[in-house]
Amino acid sequence: MSVHSSSIVEDGAVLGEGVEIGPFCHVGSEVNLHDDVKLISHVVIAGDTEIGANVRIFPFASIGHEPQDLKFKGEKSTLKIGANCTIREGVTINPGTEGGGLETIIGDRCVLLANSHVAHDCTLGNNIILSNNVMLAGHCQLADNVICGGGSAIHQFSRIGRNSFIGGMTGIEGDVIPFGMMRGAHGRLVGLNIIGMKRNGFERKSIKAASDAFKQIFAGDLPIRDVANTIRQTTDDLLVLEILDFIDAAKDRQLCKPDPSKA
């Protein structure tokens, strides 16, 4: 373990083996840094924040400070970041609030590029990439393997299904089905993230089944959930069922859809 002489580590902070704290960092009294965490320089970590092993955090990141939520009244809340993550320059990550379960969670092997923001009560799975200047509002849920292009913005409470791809400068105002491909200032579904599905080793047969289901769900004028229930009676494909389960899980939530003018 090494701590640069210009840095401050408050009494009570827990530092694992091999932790390296570079110049001009500040680590708060409730922070827990697991083994081999590296703070490059000028990193500030506050609050009840736990950071997993082998995480690298770059200059001017602000981690664990109080949420940007006017309803926050100082209640005890937490932030947990998994192992093997990379957090680049200027990233901000806030802990939870009473209105969202009092915790923000980021999984393993996530990459948060410069100036991206993860707001209070967000839950991120594993292997997620937030490109430069991505903005996640409060209470967002991102499943495994989601990629968000530079400058994209996710509205509060949105659910983003696994292996989805959010294009650069895209605004997300609703839920994105698993494997969805989003594009546009006001994001519209433009198909499935076929390239990402192939990269993650999904079978060609399942990719074809999911693509056919996508076309059936979003074609025509029938209610989406009615069509989804019909498809459920005729398929046993796990990827298709995952999309159907996602649609069925939150009946009061708006789903992102294709642009009908492009049909």
- What confidence score (pLDDT) does residue 261 get? 65
* Residue 256 DSSP code: P
Q: Which CATH superfamily is domain 2-139 in?
A: Hexapeptide repeat proteins (2.160.10.10)
Mean pLDDT of 67-85: 96
pLDDT bin (cut points 50, 70, 90) of residue 94 is very high
Whether 42 is catalytic is no
Mean pLDDT of 108-136: 98
Whether 220 is catalytic is no
**pTM reported for the whole predicted model:** 0.95
Residue 214 pLDDT exceeds 90: yes
- What confidence score (pLDDT) does residue 65 get? 98
Long-range CB contacts (within 8 A, 24+) of 213-221: 213/237, 213/240, 213/243, 213/244, 214/177, 214/243, 217/243, 217/247, 218/189, 218/257, 218/258, 219/263
Whether 138 is catalytic is yes
Residue 154 pLDDT exceeds 90: yes
Of residues 69, 121, 144, 237, which has the active-site annotation? 121
Of residues 64, 138, 149, 180, which has the active-site annotation? 138
Domain segments of the chain as ranges: 2-139, 203-262
Q: What is the percent of the chain where pLDDT is above 90?
A: 94
Helix 224-232 × helix 238-249 angle, to 10°: 140
In this structure, are strands 153-154 and 171-172 parallel, antiparallel, or unpaired? Answer: parallel
Q: Under DSSP, is residue 248 helix (H, G, I), strand (E, B) or coil?
A: helix
- What confidence score (pLDDT) does residue 262 get? 61
Q: Return the CA Rg of the chain.
A: 20
Of residues 120, 155, 161, 187, which has the active-site annotation? 120
Mean of all residue pLDDT scores within the chain: 96
Mean pLDDT of 188-192: 94
Helix 224-232 × helix 204-218 angle, to 10°: 140
